[in-house]
């Protein structure tokens, strides 16, 4: 099951982008409610490796389940 970036918690640090082995993490347009840039995971490409969860310094920004209700996509 793919992981999910919680749009409203993401702070745009982007450590996950470089760490992702399948390049499934993409920048979202504009800013989130916190006023920060944010990223989203393409569920169709994600291989559920968990590296994003391990490298993200923002607590609660990534959850280890597919939750389209928490993640905006363009």
Q: Are 40 and 26 in contact (CB under 8 A)?
A: yes
* Domain around 56: 1-74
The rounded percent of the chain whose pLDDT value lies above 90 is: 99
Instruction: Please give the model's pTM, rounded to 2 decimal places.
Output: 0.94
- 1 pLDDT tier (thresholds 50, 70, 90): confident
pLDDT digits 0-9 by tens, 19-33: 999 999 999 999 999
pLDDT at site 33: 95
Q: Mean pLDDT, the chain, as a whole number?
A: 97
What CATH number corresponds to the domain at position 36?
Answer: 3.30.70.20
For residues 60 and 74, what is the distance between their CA atoms, to the nearest angstrom? 21
pLDDT digits 0-9 by tens, 23-74: 999 999 999 999 999 999 999 999 999 999 999 999 999 999 999 999 999 9
Counted domains in the chain: 1
């Amino acid at each position: 099951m793919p992981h999910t970036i919680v749009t409203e918690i993401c702070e745009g640090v982007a450590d996950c982008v470089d760490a992702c082995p399948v390049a499934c993490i993409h920048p979202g347009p504009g800013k989130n409610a916190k006023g920060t840039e944010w990223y989203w995971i393409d569920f169709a490409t994600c291989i559920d490796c968990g590296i994003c969860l391990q490298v993200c310094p923002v607590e609660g920004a990534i959850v280890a389940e597919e939750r389209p209700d928490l993640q905006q996509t363009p």
